[in-house]
Chain A
Amino acid sequence: MFWQLFVSFWKIGTFTIGGGYVMIPIMEQEIVDRRKWLSREEFLDCLSLSQAMPGVFAVNMATCIGKRLGGFRGVLCAVAGNILMPIALILLFAVFFRYFRDNLIVERIFMGLRPAVVALIAAPVFRMAKSASVSWRNCWIPIVAALLIWLLGVSPVWVILAAIAGGLAYGWMESCRGEKGKEGSL
């Protein structure tokens, strides 16, 4: 079982390019449909927990599923399987890319890549704004957060801590006000 777990997550880690969220359908197919280790509901529970918790999403998924299936040893097998190949491959790049960086062709390719990478980070901002239900009433939060980090050089760590404190205070006030705000105005 532990070996199977390792192999499954090895596959999931090795054959997905472009980050954690690309892994979801592949994980679902492997864990729920093929191996039948979890029901779809259990899988969705893990998914929402992994999204809520800090850290790399794919590793959180591996931790949650590994824990459910095989306790601590399950976690080790799933996480190790998940990150083994990616780490090995990126290390190869890290070690050898420095020797090619000054090559004219490589430099031209990267001059094209750089704006594309920035665009690929800008796009999820607007996608996530929808799924995080950013509205006219609360859009000041991400705007202030972005400006603090971008213009004033505030560490994102402080912004996250402020968001946690603010969120807890807001939730506490809401629950003190009782049933009045049951929809949650945010």
Chain B
Amino acid sequence: MIFFELFWTFLKIGIFTFGGGYSMVALIQNEVVENHEWMTAQEFTDILAISQMTPGPVGINTATYAGYTAVVNAGFPAWQGVLASLLASFAVILLPIIAMLIVYGYLSHHKNNPVVAAMFRVLRVTVVGLIAAAALLLLTEESFGVPGLNRQFVVSIVLFGAVFWLSYRHRVSPIILIASSGLVGLVAYSL
């Protein structure tokens, strides 16, 4: 049953993702953590970290990893987790590919249709809110520590600020930022 649910869930996630992998994060988090409780917010954050460090589209990586984790957390053996992850990745790309094949050629002509253009303008603006929600939902005590003057919270806030600044202002690549944050964590928590 979980396989069917997983397929259906990722089918939905695929077709409702507009504006790339980061808006997909909001959808996956909503379905996988909030609705189905297949994993905790912390596990999901770890999956995001790994998905950004390994090659390939972040959306596919997150779907693959989340599919595996959901099924293995539910008590199924690892090989069924592998099947589930393939199923989730397949589901997530299936409808967008079909949609692309259908509108290919059609949409390039109608892109300048004012109604269609307005729809995409509103979607682009809305997606910004979707990504903001994903970030807000991940601001948890599990990831940042309990607010106050303790080591984990202070280190977390400093790291958050630094990574945000370097990524937003200086466009430092995510792989470098993630790798160095891991190093900072290792040093700061080993002292």
Contacts and interface: CB of A to CB of B under 8 A. Distances in A.
Contact of A157 (B27, B68, B155, B164): B27
A85 interface: yes
Nearest to A59: B93
Contacts of A133: 121, 124-125
A98 interface: yes
Contact of B51 (A90, A109, A115, A159): A90
Interface residues of A, number: 100
B120 to A, nearest CB: 5
Given A141-B126, A160-B126, A149 B58 contact: no
B49 A117 contact: yes
A115 B100 contact: no
A63 B49 contact: no
Interface string B153-166: 00111011111100
A17 B175 contact: yes
Interface string B28-71: 00110011000000100110111111111111110011001100
Residue with the greatest number of chain B CB neighbours at <10 A, chosen from A50, A79, A145: A145
Nearest to B123: A163
Contacts of B15: 54-55
Contact of A156 (B30, B54, B116): B30
Interface string A91-120: 101110110010001001111111111111
A186 B58 CA distance: 30
Contacts of A33: none
Nearest to A108: B189
B138 A110 contact: no
B148 interface: no
B107 A52 contact: yes
A141 B54 contact: no
Contacts of B50: 90, 93, 97
Interface of A: 13-23, 45, 48-60, 63-64, 67, 72, 75, 79, 82-83, 85-87, 89-91, 93-95, 97-98, 101, 105, 108-129, 132-134, 138, 141-146, 148-150, 153, 155-157, 159-161, 163-164, 166-168, 170-172, 174-175, 184, 186
28 contacts: A13-B57, A49-B107, A54-B14, A54-B16, A54-B95, A55-B100, A56-B92, A83-B57, A109-B186, A110-B46, A115-B181, A116-B159, A117-B48, A118-B45, A119-B167, A120-B178, A121-B135, A123-B168, A128-B128, A134-B128, A146-B132, A148-B133, A163-B126, A167-B119, A168-B115, A171-B119, A184-B117, A184-B121
